[in-house]
Amino acid sequence: MRTRLVQGLSRFAATLAALVLTGAVLVGGATPAFAADKIYLKDGRVIEGEIVREHDGSVWVNYKIGGVEQNGVFFSSSMIDRIERDAPAEAAPIEAKPAPESAAKAQPRRPGVPRAVVLTLEGTVGLEFAAKPLKDAIPMLEAQLGPAEDGERVVVLKVNSGGGLLLEIEHLHKVLEEEYKPRFRTVAWIESAISAAAMTSHILEEIYFMPQGNYGACTGYSGPLVAMKDRPLEEVLYMMEKVSAKGNHPIPIMRSMQIDEPLSANIGGDGQVSWYNTDEGEFLVNPKGRILTFNANTATKFKFSKGTAATVDELAKLLGYQEVEWVGRPEAGSLFPISKAEEHQRWWRESVEETTSRFNEYFAKYQISVQNAASSQDRAERGMFVGAARRELAIIERACKEHPNIKLLNGIPDGWFEEQHELLRDLMRQ
């Protein structure tokens, strides 16, 4: 730790020299007191300070060491595990325009105007699209949407996912049913919800589509496209019957999304839709031999969706509001403002993507270090390699702790980390 601290100061000195050379001044904020952004480094250090500049995950930070101000100290993205921001509007990326004040500070509620946020659920269910970040976002939502007694609070879950792990669906249902629904008006806004993503969203009573929206194709399978069958299939079918009831959706719809059963419907004079897992209804929604996926037109026609909205303004109208305060900071290219809770979802996804894409690499590096340690005759050299192995192991361990499904998917058994720590200790005892 001390050695790494010295390295950090050396980099600072080099940075300072460069600043003198260029005449550039990196301190962006006018405030002398540092905001409490937290940069969690992979070596275990936590830097608390103010991010004054950033680029592609690398940051320049003002912070204090022992009361002494350090300005513009650089931390590359490869050193950083994650960042928690205190004031994201101020610490904006280089390319971003300054955020308006309303996005950065808590604004007083306007009476009678609901507050809403959009949270994106993207990636693989069980990895990027998971229950944990949704649960972690709740305090952020409470803070930004304000207390319930001050007005309606709406959470729009914008779904864009091709599905994923069956085992995560129940965790997601639990968070949505027990944590979100009691607190917020929670609705789904479907860009693409395929397979486990549709099965997750199905617990919500209010489902809206984007014009390009698609929803369904929930057949469970494993390996080389081998369908679930027998008892496991029956259990999933039953689970989704219960979920359909909670989401107030007719059971035949999800059945036709999961297994080869036709789906037809009658639309009564009062507009009520009756559903059948046969082809005898007036409208054949899904023929035998096909698996159902709704598009925006069919979802609306048969009243599965409560409407189609391309923008948050259109969505607000469908929700029945004249006016909605969409909470968050504006971002170029985004359909909606970005709240802290949404930033948390994005951070989670980036973290998971980085981890999953490099997991095998971390493992291979760890093994190389262990092999080199084991073959070293010189104790000092062995210590060097054991140190390298410990660093890689720490990365793997943290990844598995933060993302338990990664541990599961990579077949890491319980107790493996303890064994590895013991192995490394043994290597040093030699």
Partner 1 sequence: MGAVLAAGVAPAAAQAAQAQADDAPDQLIFKDGRIIQGKVIEETETHVKFLVVVAGISGEQTYSKTDILAIERGERAEGEGGEEAPPATTTPRSGEGPDKPAAPEGDEADDGAPSVYVIELKGKFGRDITMTPIRNIIKDAAKHKPDYVIVVADNAWTFQDGSEAPNDAALFGQIFLAEDIEPIFTAEMPQIFGYEPEVIFWVKSAMGGMAFLPFNFDTMYFSSGARMGGIGNLIYQYGNTGDEMVREKLFSAGMGHAEGMAIHGGYDPRIIRAMARTDYVLSYRIENGQVVLVENEPRPEFNEYLLTDDGTISEQQDTDRELARGEGNDTLTLTAKVAHDLGVSKGTADTLDALLYELQIERRHRLIEGRSERIMEEWSDSVRNAERSLKRLWKEFAEIQVQGERRERTMARARQMRTLDQIIQLLEKYAEVDKLGLFEHPEGLPDVPSLRVLREQIRQEQMKDR
What is the contact surface with partner 1 in residues (CB under 8 A)?
A: 11, 14-15, 18-19, 21-24, 26, 55-56, 58, 60, 72-76, 94, 162, 192, 194-195, 210-219, 221, 223-227, 259-260, 289-297, 332-335, 357-358, 360-361, 364-365, 368-369, 372, 376, 378, 381, 384-385, 388
CB of 193 vs partner 1, minimal distance in Å: 9
First-to-last CA distance in the chain?
25
CB of 385 vs partner 1, minimal distance in Å: 7
Residue 21 burial (CB count, 10 A): 8
Residues 6+ apart with CB under 8 A from 92: 98, 99
Q: Which of 125/210 has CB closer to partner 1?
A: 210
CB of 80 vs partner 1, minimal distance in Å: 13
CB of 161 vs partner 1, minimal distance in Å: 11
CB of 210 vs partner 1, minimal distance in Å: 8
Q: Which of 114/213 has CB closer to partner 1?
A: 213
Q: Which of 245/310 has CB closer to partner 1?
A: 310
Q: Which of 248/297 has CB closer to partner 1?
A: 297
Q: Which of 378/418 has CB closer to partner 1?
A: 378
CB of 300 vs partner 1, minimal distance in Å: 10
- CA–CA distance, 99 with 345 (Å, rounded to integer): 20
Q: Which of 8/247 has CB closer to partner 1?
A: 8
For residue 144, give both structure tokens. 């930004």
Q: Which of 321/363 has CB closer to partner 1?
A: 363
User: Residue 356's closest CA among 404, 415, 413, 416?
Assistant: 404
Q: Which of 323/361 has CB closer to partner 1?
A: 361
SS3 346: helix
Q: Which of 187/217 has CB closer to partner 1?
A: 217
For residue 121, give both structure tokens. 């659920």
CB of 149 vs partner 1, minimal distance in Å: 36
User: Residue 167's closest CA among 373, 413, 409, 428?
Assistant: 409
CA 207 to centroid of chain Cα atoms: 20
User: Residue 211 to residues 14, 190, 297, 298, 359: CA-CA distances in angstroms?
Assistant: 53, 9, 8, 11, 37
Which of 263-280 are b and which e, b meaning 16 or more Cβ less than 10 Å from the residue's Cβ?
A: bbbeeeeeeebebbbeee
- CA–CA distance, 115 with 127 (Å, rounded to integer): 29
CB of 333 vs partner 1, minimal distance in Å: 4
Which of 297-327 are b and which e, b meaning 16 or more Cβ less than 10 Å from the residue's Cβ?
A: ebbbbbebbbbbbeebeebbebbebeebbbb
Please, are residues 340 and 144 in contact by the beta-carbon 8 Å criterion?
yes
CA angle 24, 52, 54 (to 5 degrees): 95
Q: Which of 99/145 has CB closer to partner 1?
A: 99
CB of 358 vs partner 1, minimal distance in Å: 6
Question: What does the radius of gyration of the chain's CA atoms come to, in whole angstroms?
Answer: 26
Backbone angles phi, psi at 64, to 5 degrees: -115, 140
CA 165 to centroid of chain Cα atoms: 15
CB of 368 vs partner 1, minimal distance in Å: 6
Backbone angles phi, psi at 402, to 5 degrees: -75, -30
Residue labelled with tokens 């959470």: 155
